[in-house]
A = this chain, B = another copy of it.
């Protein structure tokens, strides 16, 4: 890197997140010698691209910078000679997420965008697209870094590195950022005062915390965050913050991530989701509303800064993390960040060539992972299950093999096996027909032989 005139291309540039990304660049203007920012989207996203793109231009201008902001539907033009490519696209837009969530919930099964049936289908739709993009990158910008924050970030990153062969891929997530802030706050320290070390896979990692005196504070934090005295408070805010079982977390000896709730306290999480479903307030439905309001705001020709409302969107810090990774690579800053990268033995319990999410020092030549080693059995086994499931999903996404997809459903701990797995799989295939060309034969078979599946999906989606 260390070029003087950076070109950064963003796939899915019409996203409501774009202002955070632009703000992140502006904050780092002294570190990032940007010349061109390319915001790319697909025809269906043209209007949003135009709204948010114009706002991006206003933000850059207001910051007194001469960066070029290009809005385009031409992917080749966006990728050509890019130094960094960031991805924040959503195949099928938010409507696809609505289906990912509502179809499983209609059967009383968790549908969640990165976990369970929803996450699997998001992977099935996204992986072929990221592999396509990589094929173009090989031709148009063979030295670029790919910064992925499209979910499910772990599986997409693994597909990019292992199957696309793009070693210069870094996957990002905002979840660790939140946990680090929380740890510092609970200990009454600044983030600089602690060393937090994460390991696992995307949305399924644990962390340990040390202070500057060299003392490990993990166990104390378990008490502070999940102990008997802490529960009362966190209870009140949101059922999502259902407390983890304290004794189990004590036994674990590491701090879980928020998404572990789906696995450690599945029942409570499911109950909560079903309520949301019944009220027509699944996450996707809520987000759709938020996005609508955001784009209304973005239309204001006087708005030239990231509005506070964006933070309610969730996923905050994501884009800022992307900017920090870019700045750290560009300047060899060696920032301690949490990234999804090739394992290469960082976690001994997982395959050498899979993607893991771990703490790393981000250098000019990419992340240098801090070695983790082995997990204790109670954490190891369930992590290995999740990775085996992910690998099966990726295989299904690439081959379009129905049996592989069913197998992934069967072993996913959030999906009941047997008849239910097959029902859900068939309905989601029908629902996402347009974005799953690799499964076209099986979708045709279902359409022809299971009319009840087709009508179930149609009915359900009407009620949206």
1/0 per residue, CB under 8 A from B, across A376-417: the answer is 011111101111110110010000011110111011010011
Q: Are B381 and A251 in contact (CB under 8 A)?
A: no
Q: Which one of A212, A251, A373 has the greatest number of beta carbons of chain B within 10 Å?
A: A251
* Binding-face segment, A36-44, A240-248, A286-294, A431-439: A240-248
A369 at the interface (CB under 8 A from B): yes
Within 233-259 of A, Cβ neighbours of B (below 8 Å) are at 242, 245, 247-248, 250-252
* Binding-face segment, A213-221, A274-282, A310-318: A213-221
- Set of chain B residues within 8 Å of A365, measured between Cβ atoms: 195, 210, 214-216
Measured in the bound complex, the distance between the Cα atoms of B391 and A374 in whole Å is 15
- Set of chain B residues within 8 Å of A364, measured between Cβ atoms: 195, 210-214
Q: Are B345 and A403 in contact (CB under 8 A)?
A: no
Q: Are A245 and B2 in contact (CB under 8 A)?
A: no
- Set of chain B residues within 8 Å of A374, measured between Cβ atoms: 344-345, 352
1/0 per residue, CB under 8 A from B, across A131-162: the answer is 00000000000000000000000000000000
- Set of chain B residues within 8 Å of A352, measured between Cβ atoms: 348, 373-374
Q: Are B380 and A418 in contact (CB under 8 A)?
A: no
* Copies of the protein in its oligomer: 4
A263 at the interface (CB under 8 A from B): yes
Q: Are B385 and A371 in contact (CB under 8 A)?
A: no
Q: Are B371 and A370 in contact (CB under 8 A)?
A: yes
A95 at the interface (CB under 8 A from B): no
A2 contact from B213, B266, B370, B373, Cβ within 8 A:
B213
- Set of chain B residues within 8 Å of A329, measured between Cβ atoms: 214
A265 at the interface (CB under 8 A from B): yes
A464 at the interface (CB under 8 A from B): no
1/0 per residue, CB under 8 A from B, across A215-232: the answer is 110000000000000000
Measured in the bound complex, the distance between the Cα atoms of B355 and A31 in whole Å is 39
Q: Are B386 and A381 in contact (CB under 8 A)?
A: yes
A48 at the interface (CB under 8 A from B): no
Measured in the bound complex, the distance between the Cα atoms of B216 and A267 in whole Å is 43
Q: Are B391 and A411 in contact (CB under 8 A)?
A: no
Given the interface contacts A195-B332, A413-B413, does A377 sit within 8 Å of B387 by beta carbon?
yes
Measured in the bound complex, the distance between the Cα atoms of B390 and A381 in whole Å is 10
Measured in the bound complex, the distance between the Cα atoms of B391 and A230 in whole Å is 30
- Set of chain B residues within 8 Å of A395, measured between Cβ atoms: 377
Given the interface contacts A373-B345, A384-B388, does A251 sit within 8 Å of B406 by beta carbon?
yes
- Distance in angstroms from A259 CB to nearest chain B CB is 13
Q: Are A214 and B418 in contact (CB under 8 A)?
A: no
Q: Are B248 and A407 in contact (CB under 8 A)?
A: yes
A52 at the interface (CB under 8 A from B): no
Measured in the bound complex, the distance between the Cα atoms of B286 and A57 in whole Å is 72
Measured in the bound complex, the distance between the Cα atoms of B213 and A366 in whole Å is 11
Q: Are B1 and A214 in contact (CB under 8 A)?
A: yes
Q: Are B214 and A265 in contact (CB under 8 A)?
A: no
A174 at the interface (CB under 8 A from B): no
Measured in the bound complex, the distance between the Cα atoms of B379 and A456 in whole Å is 32
Instruction: Considering the complex, give the chain B residue whose CB is closest to the CB of A354.
Output: B377
Given the interface contacts A378-B411, A386-B381, does A332 sit within 8 Å of B251 by beta carbon?
no
Measured in the bound complex, the distance between the Cα atoms of B348 and A373 in whole Å is 9
A419 at the interface (CB under 8 A from B): yes
Q: Which one of A1, A250, A263, A417 has the greatest number of beta carbons of chain B within 10 Å?
A: A417
- Distance in angstroms from A5 CB to nearest chain B CB is 14
A421 at the interface (CB under 8 A from B): yes
- Set of chain B residues within 8 Å of A378, measured between Cβ atoms: 388-389, 391-392, 404, 407-408, 411
Further 5 A-B residue pairs, CB within 8 A, beyond A212-B332, A378-B407: A1-B214, A2-B213, A245-B421, A266-B418, A267-B418
24 contacts between A and B (CB under 8 A): A2-B213, A210-B363, A210-B365, A212-B364, A214-B329, A214-B363, A214-B364, A245-B410, A245-B417, A245-B421, A247-B406, A248-B406, A251-B404, A264-B418, A267-B419, A268-B419, A345-B345, A345-B372, A351-B377, A368-B371, A369-B370, A371-B372, A377-B395, A384-B384
Give the B-binding residues of A (Cβ under 8 A).
1-2, 195, 197, 210-216, 242, 245, 247-248, 250-252, 263-268, 329, 331-332, 344-346, 348, 351-352, 361, 363-366, 368-374, 377-382, 384-389, 391-392, 395, 401-404, 406-408, 410-411, 413, 416-422
